[in-house]
């Protein structure tokens, strides 16, 4: 990684291949942002001088440059990413520079001029991203109250206008992409739910209002945290844009005990001049190269029983499904909720992780053996962080749940949240998971999490805010331990669909259950939002029944397949009710997916059209000489013009031939006019086109 330091200007420069990031110490040892954008040399970066605030007054900061991690104290009136209160009531920090080192990235050390607080600002270049986080240390003898401990603040260069892109949604409607003008003042994106959430996701993109999918400057950051979080973007009255973000939401406080160290999660950022698509491709490369545990693998085609059987899970039913799934080409058979304890619905049994002998009289052994005999891996659904009050676990350990003294215990989906921050709870979870995997030869776990936190406290604990952080660290810790002890185990992250979709969970799981909404029409939009930061190779997508059980909408089989083939294809329908023709066609399409899978899962992704604008959308993947384009057109008004999107990322001088038809296309024509596809009628229609570049 490239870190350069100019001693005279006390300025650091970090360089990626296509961007530069610079900051400096001012005369009072405050760490000031200098540059984030196109590449610069160290000498060039030293020429960037802070501008005085345009309206000099005693009601403002004297200079318009922004801190790298803003603290309360002095003439600073923005959002403090670090807010601490010392035992004597002082709530301001004055740093003294204490050196820097470049052993593991760049670490800039600061210490308070009077109080026993030290901080480290960490920076690390990974591919096109700059990863940042902060470490705090209490070197004194009294606790320090931490009111807000963000990972980092990010600052844009001055531009004429600003726009923010982010996602909003709900359960079964995740990742709705929004692109809106950034208002002057403070805009907060947040989750107070204990998970990164369906409602918002901890990433954003900023541009000056002129960027498009293919062109223009975009600055983007993503927080690697799977719990509640907050990012506050400030567009000041001077027109400067800064944002600060980290774990925990407003009002949550922690006590930093004497001698204790507090480490924030990574907040990564990247810059591109290639538009929103360029930003997404840089994120995808970053996720593959630096986040995913096994990016080199191809994700198997899963069959999951949830939409077929719900909680009605038993050995004969699962065996029937397994036989059909194997015929259809599934490579991994996953038994969902309902195989354990008294779990025959969502009211009882959660927490009692022993096989239900009424449903599986001889245990899971015979089913696992048959699934393996059929040539599939075996996967199982678990929800380790939760308990139904009607369970043996809760009757034995009513004190194991998040709760507050003299307050009710709010149940959601009839369940309570186990307090994973207690070592004995996390240890219990690790042990039964370890036994389950070891005893049954389990290849894959679907780790689910189905409710938001309420009464997030620990009766009698004087520092209850910690549960928000400790819970997530413990979940990450159990996942890490399981993976270390079972290197062949693969894990899907699920929280009622995509409620825990973030870089923190992706560092220890292999894919994400994108949404409980498997309606292919809705999926086009959900996948569009998901793809802004995350690659297709972690986006699990099942083909299910028509009409869709959730939305009641009908969609042709091929349409459902083509939409799901843009991610990690799986099957989730009631296959016992499919006709012989449907099953035969499904098997053909699964086989076709296996051929294109390397291109989709490991290739470079291009979004060719925006589903919010066009009924016809398409995504394109390129890997070496291979190109896959998946078109999906939703029903549309008769007679309205529909634009066929042009392809991207091809070699204009090359010839591409269409696999299957042999048709020949010039790269330049595909880039200027797109593929000459014909989708008949006004209803749902789709197409898959494979191209191969011919050798010169
Ligand atoms: C929520 C998940 O998203 C579903 O796929 C399914 O596993 C259910 N939970 C089971 O309770």
Convert the pLDDT of each residue in 338-371 to its tens digit.
Answer: 999 999 999 999 999 999 999 999 999 999 999 9
Q: How many CB atoms lie within 10 A of CB 664?
A: 11
- Biggest alpha carbon–alpha carbon distance for the chain: 79
Task: Please tell me the predicted confidence (pLDDT) of residue 2.
Answer: 79
Buried b (16+ CB within 10 A) or exposed e, 322-344: bbbbbebbbbbbbbbbbbbbbbb
CA–centroid distance, residue 254 to ligand 1 (Å): 33
Task: Please tell me the predicted confidence (pLDDT) of residue 320.
Answer: 98
The tokens of 551 are what?
A: 């939305």
Task: Please tell me the predicted confidence (pLDDT) of residue 635.
Answer: 95
Calculate mean pLDDT across residues 447-462: 96
Q: What three-state secondary structure class fits 519?
A: coil
CA-closest residue to ligand 1 atom 11: 337
Mean pLDDT of the chain: 97
Task: Please tell me the predicted confidence (pLDDT) of residue 442.
Answer: 97
pTM for this entry: 0.98
Please tell me the distance from the alpha carbon of residue 458 to that of residue 405, in angstroms, as a whole number.
8
CA-closest residue to ligand 1 atom 10: 337
Please tell me the distance from the alpha carbon of residue 505 to that of residue 511, in angstroms, as a whole number.
9
Q: What three-state secondary structure class fits 226?
A: coil
Which residue has better confidence, 453 or 65? 453
Q: Whose CA is closest to 370, among 328, 330, 326?
A: 326
Dihedral angle computed from the Cα positions of residues 338, 343, 347 and 350, in that order, rounded to the nearest 10 degrees: -90
Q: Is 370 in the pocket of ligand 1 (CB under 6 A)?
A: no
CA–centroid distance, residue 493 to ligand 1 (Å): 11
Element at 33 (helix H, strand E): strand 31-37
CA–centroid distance, residue 499 to ligand 1 (Å): 11
pLDDT band at 53 (very low <50, low <70, confident <90, very high): confident
What's phi and psi for 644, nearest 5 deg? -80, 120
Calculate mean pLDDT across residues 468-497: 98
Q: What three-state secondary structure class fits 535?
A: coil
3-state secondary structure 358-419: CCCCCCCHHHHHHHHHCCCEEEEEECCCEECCECHHHHHCHHHECCCCCCCCCCECCEEEEC
Q: Is 174 in the pocket of ligand 1 (CB under 6 A)?
A: no
516 has catalytic annotation: yes
CA–centroid distance, residue 495 to ligand 1 (Å): 8
Task: Please tell me the predicted confidence (pLDDT) of residue 55.
Answer: 79
Task: Please tell me the predicted confidence (pLDDT) of residue 54.
Answer: 79
Q: Which domains does the chain have, with CATH numbers?
A: 2-290 (2.70.98.60), 303-600 (3.20.20.70), 616-693 (2.60.40.1180)
- Does residue 640 have a pLDDT over 90? no
* pLDDT digits 0-9 by tens, 233-268: 999 998 999 999 999 999 999 999 999 999 999 999
CA-closest residue to ligand 1 atom 6: 306
Beta strand 267-272 with 218-223 is antiparallel
What's phi and psi for 141, nearest 5 deg? -115, 0
Q: Is 337 in the pocket of ligand 1 (CB under 6 A)?
A: yes
What's phi and psi for 546, nearest 5 deg? -130, 125
- Does residue 422 have a pLDDT over 70? yes
Atom of ligand 1 nearest to the CA of 495: 3
Q: What three-state secondary structure class fits 481?
A: helix
pLDDT band at 641 (very low <50, low <70, confident <90, very high): confident
Calculate mean pLDDT across residues 294-299: 98
**What's the length of the chain?**
696
Q: Is 496 in the pocket of ligand 1 (CB under 6 A)?
A: yes
Task: Please tell me the predicted confidence (pLDDT) of residue 64.
Answer: 85
* pLDDT digits 0-9 by tens, 522-553: 999 999 999 999 999 999 999 999 999 999 99
Please tell me the distance from the alpha carbon of residue 45 to that of residue 23, in angstroms, as a whole number.
9
CA-closest residue to ligand 1 atom 5: 516
The tokens of 490 are what?
A: 């693969």
519 has catalytic annotation: no
DSSP states of 229-263 as a string?
EEEEEEE-TTS-EEEEEEES-TT--EEE-TT-EEE
CA–centroid distance, residue 383 to ligand 1 (Å): 9
Atom of ligand 1 nearest to the CA of 304: 5
Q: Is 378 in the pocket of ligand 1 (CB under 6 A)?
A: no
Alpha-carbon distance values, 461 to 114, 255, 276, 465 (Å): 30, 12, 46, 9
Beta strand 163-168 with 176-181 is antiparallel
Locus of tokens 């409602």: 199
In this prediction, what percent of the chain has a pLDDT beyond 90? Answer: 96
Q: What three-state secondary structure class fits 462?
A: coil
CA–centroid distance, residue 78 to ligand 1 (Å): 42
Q: Catalytic one among 65, 207, 448, 522? A: 448
Q: Is 499 in the pocket of ligand 1 (CB under 6 A)?
A: no
Task: Please tell me the predicted confidence (pLDDT) of residue 1.
Answer: 53
Please tell me the distance from the alpha carbon of residue 429 to that of residue 421, in angstroms, as a whole number.
12
- Does residue 122 have a pLDDT over 80? yes
Q: Is 254 in the pocket of ligand 1 (CB under 6 A)?
A: no
């Amino acid at each position: 990684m490239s870190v350069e330091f100019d001693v005279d200007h006390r300025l650091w420069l970090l360089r990626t291949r296509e961007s530069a990031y610079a900051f400096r110490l001012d005369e009072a040892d405050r760490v000031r942002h200098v540059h984030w954008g196109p590449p610069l040399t160290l000498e060039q970066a030293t020429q960037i001088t802070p501008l005085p605030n345009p309206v000099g007054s005693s009601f403002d900061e004297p200079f318009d440059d922004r801190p790298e991690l803003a603290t309360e104290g002095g003439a600073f009136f923005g959002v403090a990413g670090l807010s601490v209160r010392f035992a004597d009531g002082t709530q301001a920090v004055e740093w003294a520079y204490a050196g820097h080192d470049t052993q593991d990235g760049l670490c800039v050390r600061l210490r308070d001029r009077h109080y026993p607080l030290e901080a480290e600002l960490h920076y690390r270049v990974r591919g096109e991203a700059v990863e940042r986080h902060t470490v705090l240390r209490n070197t004194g003898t009294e606790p320090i109250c931490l009111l807000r401990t963000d990972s980092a603040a990010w600052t844009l260069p001055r531009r004429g206008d600003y726009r923010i892109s982010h996602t909003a949604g709900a359960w079964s409607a995740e990742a709705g992409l929004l692109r809106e003008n950034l208002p002057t003042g403070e805009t907060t994106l947040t989750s107070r739910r204990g998970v990164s959430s369906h409602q918002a996701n901890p990433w954003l993109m900023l541009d000056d209002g002129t960027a498009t999918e293919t062109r223009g400057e975009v600055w983007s950051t993503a927080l690697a945290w799977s719990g509640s979080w907050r990012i506050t973007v400030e567009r000041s009255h001077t027109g400067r844009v800064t944002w600060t973000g980290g774990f925990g939401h407003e009002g949550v406080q922690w006590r930093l005990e004497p001698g204790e160290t507090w480490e924030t999660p990574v907040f990564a950022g990247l810059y591109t001049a290639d538009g929103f698509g360029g930003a997404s491709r840089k994120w995808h490369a970053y996720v593959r190269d630096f986040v995913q545990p096994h990016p080199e693998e191809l994700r198997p085609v899963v069959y999951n029983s949830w939409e077929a059987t719900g909680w009605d899970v038993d050995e004969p039913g699962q065996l029937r499904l397994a036989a059909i799934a194997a015929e259809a080409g599934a490579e991994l058979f996953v038994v969902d909720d309902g195989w354990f304890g008294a779990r025959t619905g969502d009211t009882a049994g959660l927490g009692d992780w022993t096989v239900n002998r009424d449903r599986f009289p001889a245990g899971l052994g015979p089913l696992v053996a048959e699934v393996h005999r059929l040539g599939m891996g075996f996967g199982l659904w678990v929800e380790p962080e939760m308990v139904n009050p009607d369970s043996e676990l809760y009757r034995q350990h009513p004190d194991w749940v998040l709760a507050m003294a003299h307050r009710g215990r709010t149940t959601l989906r009839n369940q309570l949240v186990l307090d994973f921050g207690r070592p004995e709870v996390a240890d219990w979870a690790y042990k039964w998971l370890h036994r389950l995997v070891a005893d049954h030869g389990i290849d894959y776990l679907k780790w689910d999490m189905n409710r938001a936190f309420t009464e997030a406290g620990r009766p009698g604990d004087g520092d209850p805010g910690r549960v928000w952080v400790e819970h997530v660290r413990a979940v990450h810790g159990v996942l890490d331990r399981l993976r270390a002890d079972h290197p062949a185990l693969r894990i899907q992250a699920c929280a009622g669909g995509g409620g825990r979709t973030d870089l923190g969970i992706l560092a220890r799981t292999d894919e994400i259950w994108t949404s409980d909404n498997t309606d292919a029409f809705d999926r086009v939009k959900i996948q569009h939002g998901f793809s802004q930061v995350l690659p297709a190779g972690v986006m699990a997508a099942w083909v299910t029944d028509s009409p869709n059980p959730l939305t009641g909408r009908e969609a042709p089989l091929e349409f459902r397949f083509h939409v799901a083939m843009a991610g990690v294809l799986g099957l989730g329908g009631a296959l016992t009710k499919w006709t012989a023709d449907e099953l035969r066609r499904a098997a053909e399409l699964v086989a076709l997916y296996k051929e294109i899978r390397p291109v989709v899962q490991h290739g470079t992704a291009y979004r060719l059209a925006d589903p919010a604008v066009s009924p016809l959308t398409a995504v394109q993947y390129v890997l070496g000489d291979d190109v896959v384009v998946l078109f999906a057109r939703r029903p549309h008004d008769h007679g309205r013009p529909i634009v066929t999107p042009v392809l991207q990322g091809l070699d204009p001088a090359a010839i591409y031939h269409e696999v299957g038809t042999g048709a020949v296309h010039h790269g330049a024509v595909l880039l200027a006019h797109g593929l000459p596809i014909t989708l008949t009628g006004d209803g749902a229609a789709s197409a898959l086109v494979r191209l191969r570049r011919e050798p010169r």
